[in-house]
């Protein structure tokens, strides 16, 4: 017992204080909520007000694929945080500014590339997913327009992650709040045709996203260039910095993050495909549950962002014990916060599903509400792998994260989800819940291998 108490005392004393971690985390929770979770919840709620399960399903299908693009857009900025965090910890401020320039132009290239590809492939994407033809004709044009908004996300993420890399989470929070306010206004006005605006349905939601990220990008640029405390990072305008060698080094880190993040994101796409044959009600249930689970995981998503730069800065300052201590503290705090959110979902499942189930002629609540309870019981596996993945990325150990996620998704999740989808289960809610639950069994496997890597200590010696 004395040894255990001594270990706890050492953990509390080393690394960042719990107070400081919470101070970093709270703005990040708000940023992640307004940047990722709230737009999906608000968009789904407003489109549900059109009282059409077909429209709602078309939105969910597009958003499921857009989630892949969003994860792809994070890869290069996250890799830059591992580099910028260490440079900042070592007080090499000019180098941080140079890395921002390299990151900006590298991310711009991929943002434009995804827009071109999605614009010409939108209809085929819907067909491959196996949704009804009525959803394809509505959803494909929406996905094309949304891909332009995603291009702006690629540019915005670079600027926001730079600020996080130098341990500033408050400013990205304020910027994200400004963006979401513009989105909320235009989403409501353009989807439903309110406040003197035309009723554009799904197209209105896509236009609202474009307006949102335009605000975010412009405001981020203005604050970075005008803030006097950032002058030490830039000898000249950051967009003038670009070297092929550093860009290739960044890609060498980020392509692995691209693979690991899109592995999980594409798992959602595969999961979606496994339930499309169950009909429009199951398709709509998938979107409602996915959005609610992301809300419950919000504390973990925010902590995963925080642990990346906490580990990066500690290792950059030559303090591996502090990095380990931060991981333990963040895991415990994540457990407490996420458990509270999941308990709320389980106790009020029917109420939360009812927020999106508005079509009285084709209701999906009978599937979604009981399935949400089953899925919520398994979500706890996900937050562990989220935090450990963030810690490994902060150490620059992105290869481990990529390999574990890729092969677990490919060799474990893909076949087991397919097998369960073929079982002769007549109860739709149970069948849906079991298929969805395979995703979290997969995250449990991923978390196990990440934990082994952390315990080994090899992650502390990665060069970036």
The number of angstroms, rounded, from the C-alpha of 28 to the middle of its chain's C-alpha atoms is: 12
Mean pLDDT within 376-383: 84
Give CA–CA dist 450/304, Å, rounded: 14
- DSSP string computed for 373-411: HHHHTTTHHHHHHHHHHHHHHHTT-HHHHHHHHHHHIII
Give CA–CA dist 116/135, Å, rounded: 22
Contact 29, 304 (CB under 8 A): no
- The band of 237, judged by pLDDT with boundaries at 50, 70 and 90, is low
Burial class of residue 197 (count of CB atoms within 10 Å of its CB; 0-12, 13-18, 19+): middle
Mean pLDDT within 381-404: 88
Residue 243: CA atoms inside 13 Å, Cβ hemisphere, count?
Answer: 7
Burial class of residue 19 (count of CB atoms within 10 Å of its CB; 0-12, 13-18, 19+): exposed
- The band of 11, judged by pLDDT with boundaries at 50, 70 and 90, is low
What is the pLDDT at residue 10?
A: 53
Task: Retrieve residue 27's tokens.
Answer: 């703005």
- Of the two residues 215 and 458, the one the predictor is more confident about is 215
Q: Where are the domains of the chain?
A: 8-461
What is the pLDDT at residue 259?
A: 84
Mean pLDDT within 55-71: 82
What is the pTM assigned to this prediction? 0.76
Mean pLDDT within 382-395: 89
What is the pLDDT at residue 403?
A: 92
- Of the two residues 9 and 228, the one the predictor is more confident about is 228
Q: How many CB atoms lie within 10 A of CB 395?
A: 26
Residue 236: pLDDT above 70?
no
* Tokens 């899925």 found at: 375
Mean pLDDT within 41-69: 83
- The band of 463, judged by pLDDT with boundaries at 50, 70 and 90, is low
Residue 353: pLDDT above 50?
yes
Residue 464: pLDDT above 70?
no
Contact 94, 235 (CB under 8 A): yes
What is the pLDDT at residue 86?
A: 75
Give CA–CA dist 90/265, Å, rounded: 34
What is the pLDDT at residue 452?
A: 92
What is the pLDDT at residue 430?
A: 87
Average pLDDT value for the chain: 84
**Buried b / exposed e along 222-244 (16+ C-beta atoms within 10 A):** ebbeeeeebeebbeeebeebeee
Closest CA relative to residue 118, chosen from 161, 78, 70: 70
What is the pLDDT at residue 1?
A: 39
- Of the two residues 351 and 457, the one the predictor is more confident about is 351
Residue 100: pLDDT above 90?
no
């Amino acid at each position: 017992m004395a040894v255990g108490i001594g270990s706890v005392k050492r953990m509390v004393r080393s690394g960042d204080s719990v107070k400081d971690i919470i101070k970093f985390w709270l703005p990040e929770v708000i940023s992640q909520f307004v940047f990722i979770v709230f737009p999906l919840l608000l968009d789904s709620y407003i489109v549900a007000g059109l009282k059409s399960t077909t429209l709602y399903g078309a939105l969910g299908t597009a958003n499921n694929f857009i989630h892949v693009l969003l994860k792809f857009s994070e890869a290069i900025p996250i890799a830059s945080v591992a580099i910028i965090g260490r440079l900042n910890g070592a007080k090499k401020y000019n180098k941080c500014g140079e890395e921002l320039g390299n990151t900006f132009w590298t991310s711009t290239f991929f943002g434009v590339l995804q827009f071109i590809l999605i614009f010409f492939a939108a209809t085929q994407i819907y067909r491959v997913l196996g949704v009804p033809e009525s959803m394809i004709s509505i959803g494909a044009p929406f996905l094309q327009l949304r891909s332009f908004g995603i291009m702006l996300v690629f540019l915005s993420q670079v600027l926001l992650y730079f600020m996080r890399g130098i341990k500033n989470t408050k400013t990205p929070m304020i910027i994200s709040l400004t963006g979401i306010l513009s989105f909320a206004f235009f989403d409501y006005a353009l989807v439903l045709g309110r406040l003197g605006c035309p009723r554009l349905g799904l197209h209105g939601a896509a236009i609202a996203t474009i307006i949102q990220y335009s605000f975010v990008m412009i405001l981020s640029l203005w604050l970075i260039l005008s803030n006097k405390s950032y002058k030490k990072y830039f000898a000249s305008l950051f967009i003038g910095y670009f070297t092929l060698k550093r860009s290739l080094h960044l890609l060498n880190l980020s392509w692995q993050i691209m693979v690991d993040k899109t592995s999980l994101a594409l798992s959602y796409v595969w999961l979606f495909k496994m339930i499309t044959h169950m009909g429009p009600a199951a398709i709509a249930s998938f979107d409602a549950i996915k959005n609610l689970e992301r809300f419950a995981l919000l504390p973990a998503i925010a902590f995963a962002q925080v642990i990346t730069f906490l580990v990066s800065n500690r290792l950059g300052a030559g303090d591996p014990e502090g990095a380990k201590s931060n991981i333990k503290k963040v895991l415990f705090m994540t457990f407490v916060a996420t458990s509270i959110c999941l308990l709320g979902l389980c106790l009020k499942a029917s109420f939360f599903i009812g927020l999106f189930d508005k079509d009285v002629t084709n209701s999906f609540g009978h599937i979604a509400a009981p399935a949400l309870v089953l899925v919520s019981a398994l979500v706890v596996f996900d937050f562990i792998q989220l935090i450990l993945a963030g810690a490994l990325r902060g150490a620059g150990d992105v290869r481990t994260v990529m390999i574990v996620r890729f092969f677990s998704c490919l060799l474990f999740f893909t076949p087991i989800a397919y097998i369960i989808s073929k079982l002769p289960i007549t109860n739709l809610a149970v069948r849906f819940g079991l298929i969805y639950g395979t995703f979290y069994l997969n995250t449990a496997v991923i978390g196990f291998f990440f934990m082994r890597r952390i315990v080994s200590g090899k992650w502390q010696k990665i060069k970036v």
